[in-house]
Structure 1
Amino acid sequence: MKKSVAVLGLGKYGRSIAENLYNMGADVLAVDEDENVINEISSKCTSAVCANLSNEDEVAALGLKNMDIVVTAMGRSLAASIMSVSVAKEQGVPIVVCKASSDRMASILKKVGADKIIDPEGEGGLRSASILMSTSFKEFFALDENMYMIEMNPKKEWIGKNLRELELRKVMNLNVVAIKEKGKNWTHVDPSVPFSASSILLIVVERKDIKKCQ
């Protein structure tokens, strides 16, 4: 089932996460107050709307109650971020993720209901989108422009099977480089030992194959 995500605020970070989410198969509502920005992104998302995100009526009219996730990416506009978080939570959005430009802003947004705070300096749009789209991803790191390292739980269909059975490198081009169980340290993967639901895998993957991990 597709995830529905609203991205509010389309600066560099907001555009990046909106486009990456859309490319990963999400239904994306992109919102900004600049009509030129909306025109530029309209072909790279499901729908694009021009709205004043500091205006309660305009934010309420966006239909956020239909979203699985709302991302507020107005890192320098505290008023717009507070308004968006408040309306999203009032409308029952289960996950609200906020970009914050300072510790003080992060603290305020948490108090009004934000579930996760994004540090745009350390969390690029692709990384954020990948984690939001997957129920398995715990961490996501770029090794270079093409190769990524993902820390994740095994996919449901992998549980109870081992590397020899799954042949992840051959079948999916995924290289499992380490594994750990809850409360233990990372170790090399024994290809004969089945993965459990609590296993955490460290996987190296090419950019084009990231979707296979989700």
Structure 2
Amino acid sequence: MKKEFAVIGLGRFGSSICKALAEEGMEVMAIDIDEDRVNEFSMIASHAVVGDTTDETVIKSLGIRNFDHVIVAIGDNIQASILTTLILKEAGVKKITVKAQNDYHEKVLSKIGADFVIHPERDMGRRIAHKLVSNNVLDYLELSDEHSIVEIVANERISGHTIIDLDIRAKYGINIVAIKRREEIIVSPQANEKIQYNDIMIVIGADVDINRFEKKLLG
């Protein structure tokens, strides 16, 4: 069943989300106050609309409360972002995701009821930094301030050992939720699964525990 999304703000971030959702076959309404930006999405989104979403009457006229998820991607106007989020919340929108410009903006959005607040520049910076400081980390996804999912490449030190041999969960408090092995993906690997050289282990846990695992086991 297709979900209906509305993307408000067609800057770089909003544009990329709008295109990705459309490519997934979702119903997408693209909204921006700039007519030129809207025209660019007339053939991409299901509907492309010029509108000022800080105006409550505009929100009501577009029927946005009926959408499954609204993404507020207004990039350069914090006041417009906050006011739009507030109007959407009061209109009864089911799920609202908002792009935050800074930590203060994020705090305000959370207080007025945004369901999800994302901070793409900060989060990407953390992701890149984590990859730069570790030779074994391929990718890094922050789940919260203290927990992450990390892709770690198995080296010679642990290849040939089973998961139970390594006793990762007991020693480090983390879990291997999947293993990528060339074209194969092993989901929820068994305790007797033998780790092979260059396996990509998808690990979930607290950041401090993942860091201990990287340093002590992988070197």
TM-score by length of 2: 0.58
- Between the aligned partners of 1:8 and 1:140, the Cα distance in structure 2 is 29
CA displacement 1:80-136 (0-9 Å, x = unmatched): 212221222222222100001100001111111101111122568xxxxxxxxxxxx
Residue 167 of structure 2 corresponds to residue 175 of structure 1: no
Q: Which of 1 and 2 has greater Rg? A: 2
Structure with larger RCO (C-alpha < 8 A, sep 6+)? 1
Q: 1:140 to 1:16 in 2, by over 3 A?
A: farther
SS in 1 for 2:42: helix
Q: Which amino acid aligns with 2:4?
A: S
Instruction: Say yes or no: does 1:106 pair with 2:115.
Output: no
The aligned counterpart of 2:64 is: 64
The answer to whether the 8 A contact 1:177-1:202 is kept is no
- 8 Å CA contact retained: 2:97, 2:117: yes
The answer as to whether partners of 1:178 and 1:189 remain within 8 angstroms in 2 is no
Q: Any idea what SS the aligned residue of 1:176 has?
A: strand
Percent identity (aligned) = 34
| 3-state SS of 1:25 partner | coil
Q: CA RMSD in A?
A: 3.5
Question: Aligned ranges for residues 1-214 of structure 1 at < 5 Å?
Answer: 1-121=1-121, 175-177=184-186, 179=188, 202=202
Count matched residues. 149
Distance (Å, rounded) in 2 between the aligned partners of 1:7 and 1:31: 6
* Inter-partner Cα distance in structure 2 for 1:32 and 1:99: 15
Unaligned 5+ runs, structure 2: 125-147, 152-179, 194-200, 204-219
Q: Is the 8 A contact 1:70 1:93 kept in 2?
A: yes
Deviation at 1:188, TM superposition (A): 6.3
4+ aligned runs moved over 6 Å, structure 1: 139-142, 188-191
SS of 1:22 mapped into structure 2 = helix
- In structure 1, give the amino acid aligned to 2:184: N
| 1:166-211 C-alpha deviation (Å, 9 max, x unpaired) | xxx9xxx9732563xxxxxxx66768xxxxxxxxx949xxxxxxxx
Give the direction of change, closer, same or farther, for the CA distance of 1:61–1:74 in structure 2 (3 Å limit). same
Distance verdict in 2 for CA 1:104–1:122, change over 3 Å: closer
TM-score (norm 1): 0.59
For the residue of structure 2 that corresponds to 1:114, the secondary structure is coil
- The CA deviation at 1:40 is 0.6
Give the Cα separation in 2 of the matches to 1:50 and 1:13: 18
Is residue 7–residue 29 contact of structure 1 (8 Å, CA) maintained in 2? yes
Matched residue of 2:117: which SS?
A: strand
